[in-house]
Structure 1
Amino acid sequence: MKIDWRKPSVPRCRARLITLTASERRQLKKIAYSHTAAYQLVLRVRIVLDAAHGYANNTIAQRRGVTVDTVRLWRGRYRSQDGIKSLTDRPRSGRPPTFSPLQRAEIKGLACQLPAETGAPLSRWSCPELAREAARRGLTAMISASTVRRILTEDALKPWQHQSWIFIRDPQFAVKAARVLGLYARWWDDLPLGDAEYVISADEKTSIQARCRCHPTLPPGRSRMMRVNHDYDRGGALAYLAAYDVHNAHVYGRTSSKTGIVPFMDLVEQVMTQEPYASAKRVFWVVDNGSSHRGKAAADRLSARFPNAVMVHTPVHASWLNQVEIFFSIVQRKVVTPNDFTSLDQVEDRLIAFERRYNETARPFRWKFTPADLEDLLARIERHEQKERNSKQPADCNHQPAVIDAAA
């Protein structure tokens, strides 16, 4: 009897067939040719696209430089699970944490203290300084600055940053601020402003220097920003006075060698002697408490020279309520910085030319701080004062305990 020693035939496993819709193919191709996607994701997507074209696992492995098991894994996972989402890594437990929750909490607590309170001769904490301080105190044996940064990021702590704030010193802050905000909304004494009534926001931008660089400024080039030489010769300084029509978005400006009552009244003369302000019913001048237009004397001087002009002061330390400050910030960014002028005449010409350019396309500022926001701010200050009273903390004899966030 003849014995057949051949092994019985075993059915071959066929690779799972992948069929893509037009939308899926479009998404996969976008990832496959992406320059920003992770390399592992791009490789897995290309494996799936090859499988959809009908390539065998061995062929795909040779084309992509991976093992057959890798091709089989991602081909099967895409076929049996949730499409593109299945190509990302599954959550992993990772290695055990090096620092305990108590140590992490102590580092966060240290970051929430002022360095002066701990005896460190620093004004603010940085991550390297926190790492050294934590090791010095024995909170940890050793910790890197990057680990400290990751721990602080969990609670969005950034002790190396700071934000300024000021006390409210004007006892009539609420009344004065409401008056200015009402003018921006075209209201005065609970009555709407008429067509022949205008609101002007005015102030001075002082000490604009003419810094003549010792070497010419180089324009930007390929992979290079504009270069400005650090060394310069001083060419003097001047002041830029501007009056901004709040609702018509028009700027009237002039330069002066110094600030004071005379230069400011020259600006008023420049505006009030031309239409429509010369024949207007009322023109409200919103100003801060600078020396050239401070107090009742300045208001009387303005009304004596122009009977239809009304001076309205912002509260003390609240020049952020003056809209012309927004225009000055634009001037600082677009005209003054990085300050490369050969003379004061060039500074003056540049300012006046920019003023004409700005008026051609200017639109009123979208002022978002309304009287309702003012009420919310005052209510928040009142809650803060009540908290201070309840905690019985010693009050500063020179200032009231109410505060305003400078970014309000």
Structure 2
Amino acid sequence: MHQQGERAVSTDELAGVQALERKHPELPLAPGYIQRREFEYERHGTRCFILSRDVVTGKLVAPFCGPTRTEEDFLAHAQAVVATNPQVTRWHFVCDNLNIHQSEALVRWVAHLEGIGQETLGKKGEYGILALMPRRAAFLSDPSHKVVFHYTPNHSSWLNQIEIWLSILVRKVLRRGSFVSVDELEANVLAFIANYNQTAKPFKWIYQGKALTI
């Protein structure tokens, strides 16, 4: 796929990330004691991150950060990802079944890229492609489109590789972080992404699609 000019990215959101400032310094490591910290903190607001990871290179592409996670935010992120390389013949987004991944805004954007008239799409909640989420998802999953969305099965979002990367972000940056503002939170996350991209490698994906045994 990559050699044929196509790109696949694994996409998901990390919503409601709190900018927490610890009221007291952490206690340092000591023989026989792990690093300790006080439980008190102050909240300085939240941020939402929309992230896409190239499954071949391992790099994060066009990370998005903002106060909300709307269908317009997700559309802006998808458009930014596609804009990073106009030479790509087809983009594949792997994501879960969240409603903003199957939105009217996405359908209208993909239809525009395909030269499909907006008047043929119907009306959300009433008729045509836009009427219902399953119809929108079917349209967005069309493999002939220049931008194709692939949806993980219900309750199986863990199959999406971006979930692994988000756990890395939580462990390395968020869990023990102390941020005096949402701006500092955003700056720390984006700096971590920039540093990660310098040495990024693809995950060695070993799951073979077989049922897990107990």
TM-score (norm 2): 0.77
Regions of 4+ moved over 6 Å: none
1:305, 1:213 → 2: CA distance? Answer: 48
- Go from structure 1 to structure 2 and tell me whether the alpha carbon gap of 1:229 and 1:305 turns closer, same or farther (over 3 Å shift): farther
Tell me the CA shift for residue 226 of structure 1. Answer: 2.0
Q: Letter of the 1:247 partner, please give it.
A: V
* 2:16 alignment partner, one of 207, 211, 233: 207
Amino acid at match of 1:242: L
Matched residue type, 1:346: E
Is residue 2:77 matched to residue 1:267? yes
Contact in 2 for aligned 1:197/1:282 (Cα 8 Å): yes
State whether residues 239 and 258 of structure 1, in contact with CA within 8 Å, keep that contact through their aligned partners in structure 2.
yes
Question: Post-superposition shift, 1:205?
Answer: 0.5
- Are positions 1:283 and 2:91 aligned together? yes
Matched letter for residue 246 of structure 1: V
CA distance in 1 between counterparts of 2:110 and 2:71 reads: 14
Match of 2:183 among 334, 345, 348: 345
Question: Could you tell me which of 179, 190, 200 is aligned with 1:362?
Answer: 200
CA distance in 1, matches of 2:58, 2:205: 12
Q: 1:301 to 1:255 in 2, by over 3 A?
A: same
Residue 335 (1) aligns with residue 144 (2): no
The residue number in structure 2 matching 1:197 is: 6
Higher relative CO (Cα under 8 Å, sequence separation at least 6) belongs to 2
Aligned partner of 1:309 in structure 2 is 147
1:352 counterpart letter in structure 2: L
2:69 corresponds to which letter in structure 1? T
Equivalence map 1:2-401=2 (5 Å):
186=1, 194-252=3-61, 253-275=63-85, 278-294=86-102, 297=104, 300-307=107-114, 308-370=146-208, 374=209, 376-377=210-211
Q: Secondary structure at the match of 1:268?
A: helix
After superposition, the C-alpha distances for 1:342-401 in whole angstroms (9 at most, x for unaligned) are: 11111101100000111111110111113xxx3x42xxxxxxxxxxxxxxxxxxxxxxxx
Report the alpha carbon displacement of residue 218 of structure 1 after superposing the two structures with TM: 3.4
Secondary structure of residue in 2 paired with 1:266: helix
Identify the residue that residue 147 of structure 1 maps to in structure 2.
none
Q: 1:208 to 1:366 in 2, by over 3 A?
A: same
Distance 1:259 1:305 in 2: 23
- Whichever structure has more helix as a proportion of its residues is 1
Whole-Å Cα distance in 2 between the matches of residues 290 and 340 of structure 1? 30
Structure 1 vs Structure 2 CA RMSD: 2.2
Q: Which has the larger radius of gyration?
A: 1
Partners of 2:72 and 2:55 lie apart in 1 by: 24
* TM-score of the aligned structures, taking structure 1 as reference length: 0.42
> Which residue number corresponds to residue 57 of structure 1?
none
1:62 — aligned with what?
Answer: none
- Contact map agreement 2:58 2:200 (CA 8 A) in 1: yes
Offset of residue 224 of structure 1 = 3.3
CA–CA distance in structure 2, aligned partners of residues 194 and 246 of structure 1: 13
Aligned counterparts of 1:302 and 1:322: Cα–Cα separation in 2: 24
Rounded to whole Å, the distance in 2 between the matches of 1:299 and 1:312 is 13
> Between Structure 1 and Structure 2, how many residues are aligned?
182
